[in-house]
Amino acid sequence: MRKPIIAGNWKMYKTAAEAKAFAEEVKTALPSAEKVDAVICAPALFLQNLVESAGNTDLKIGAQTMHEEKEGAFTGEVSPVQLKDLGVEYVIIGHSERRQYFNETDESANRKVVSAFEHGLKPILCVGESLEQRDSGDTGNVVEAQVEKGVARLSAEQAAELVIAYEPIWAIGTGKTATAEDANEVCGIIRKKIESLYNEETAGAVRIQYGGSVKPANIEELMNMEHIDGALVGGASLEAESFLKLLEAGA
């Protein structure tokens, strides 16, 4: 059985005080970690404080991106070694906003995924089609190609540990959610692709999240789907009360 994973992506929101208040509130009301993995992916600036606030609780902290190199002359970047050193556990890789505004590609996402595993971080690899690609019937091909390139050079053991977030670009931050059936269909395509690249066991283990305007009102329907193992959530992860409701639905 795959354990559900609900991850909040705060993007470039919150002050340090707000981040701390959120962690203090959420950590006391978390559902059991045996039932759901609860992750907050925060701006790099707040990671240390959040790791400290989360302490020994089951609230896990993730970064929103990282550089693929362990160190070097890369002004403004954060390395996997630095994240690991802080106690960060997860890292989002290849989010569509990184692809759109910061020139990230399937190839750079793959280098980062490989590096994240090398340095003991758990990557959440984002894939998803644009509205144009969906309208022209290309969703399956686009997502399969993103997955194949994204997992290149990963062993079957690593692929089984990977979290893949299926996030149709047209559903992110727009209030439009894919129907649970459509989301499940694409998550199923992703699982099949992993099976064809590795084997049935790996495909059965990899956790696939849906992301795109997930909120307390629609998460249950999504979580009831066969191939959806959790959610990557932007807007609705910003308030503690709403994040806790998402966790309850995931547990």
Binding residues: 9-11, 173, 213, 234-235
151 contacts 113 by C-beta, under 8 angstroms: yes
Identify how many contiguous H helices and E strands the chain contains and give both numbers.
12, 8
Q: Per CB under 6 A, which region of 71-79, 137-145, 197-205, 210-218 contacts ligand PEP?
A: 210-218
> Least CB distance from residue 233 to ligand PEP, whole Å?
5
Q: Reply yes or no on whether 200 is catalytic.
A: no
Six token digits for residue 80: 């996997």
Q: Reply yes or no on whether 167 is catalytic.
A: yes
Q: How many residues bind ligand PEP (CB under 6 A)?
A: 14
Cα–Cα distance for residue pair 96/232, rounded to 1 Å: 12
Which residue of the set 67, 95, 119, 227 is catalytic? 95
Cα–Cα distance for residue pair 172/231, rounded to 1 Å: 12
Question: Can you tell me which of 4, 94, 234, 250 binds ligand PEP, judged by CB under 6 A?
Answer: 234
Q: Angle 59-155-8 (CA atoms, 0-180°, nearest 5)?
A: 25
> Least CB distance from residue 56 to ligand PEP, whole Å?
28
Minimal CA–CA distance to 98: which of 57, 63, 59? 63
Report 7-66 residues binding ligand PEP (CB under 6 A).
9, 11
User: Which residues of this protein are in contact with ligand PEP, per CB under 6 A?
Assistant: 9, 11, 167, 172-173, 211-214, 232-236
Active site residues: 95, 167
